[in-house]
Amino acid sequence: EDAVKARGRDLGEDTAIVGSVKEPSLEEILALNPDFVILSADTAGHGRLHEALAAARVPHAYYRVDAFSDYLELLGQVCQMTGRTDLYKQNGLAVQEQIDAVLAAVEGRTGPSVLLLRAYAAGAKAKGTDNLTGVILRDLGADNLVSRHESLLEEVSLEEVIAADPDFLLITTMGDPDKAMAYMEETFAQNPAWAGLAAVRNGRCVQLPKELFHYKPNTRWGESYAHLAEILYPELSGQFQ
């Protein structure tokens, strides 16, 4: 139901709703008599389905997709199941070529320092390579400050952010983006010290588009790399269009 309510997808009458992302309904799933069930290794509610699906002899597998290589592996398995190797080339290998072109363009450049924040209505956390944006930052040569300030992974301290003074502040949002950014405004942006950060002074505090940096970009993974490369290295702007 998240696809319909949160993302406004028009999925058609032949699509069954089997609960939410975090709490899928076992009863709804079994009622469909599926050939194969794809589950998230990151979601506790999915993990609880294993024994029941195994008992019902429903083939299923758990996947974790943080990096493009994870996506490519999952895509390859599904295309093999369906016999659509053409779609593996179209939606996988062609995207790999886009990413390779971006990586070639940034090769040898000194990457800027970055603090990546994931904001939501009630808080914010710094993120490392445990999510897709952090992986892309690493691949593009950025210096993600959480590698040296691991305490930011537990709690974002304005004092520690000020001391680190990153070149870029990049923000992704989870849940309602307006409420997430309202939290950032009330908690950090209204503090005069926030305005003194180099990233804020230089217009390098950037809210990243949710469809490319929170949701899995899938066939748009190349766009995610290009978008972030053009932020980190402004001299590359327009090169990947």
CB 63 within 8 A of CB 41: yes
Q: What are the structure tokens assigned to 164, written together?
A: 């680190």
Which residues is 205 bridged to in the sheet?
A: 169
Hey, what long-range contacts does 143-146 have (CB within 8 A, 24 or more apart)?
A: 143/111, 143/112, 143/113, 143/114, 144/114, 144/115, 144/116, 145/113, 145/114, 145/115, 146/115, 146/116
Low-confidence ranges of the chain (pLDDT < 50): none
Using the CB atoms, write b or e for 92-102: b if 16+ within 10 Å. Answer: beebeebbeeb
Name the nearest CA neighbour of 87 among 75, 105, 103, 98: 75
Helix (H) / strand (E) element for 193: namely helix 192-195
pLDDT above 70 covers a percentage of the chain that reads 99
pLDDT of residue 219: 95
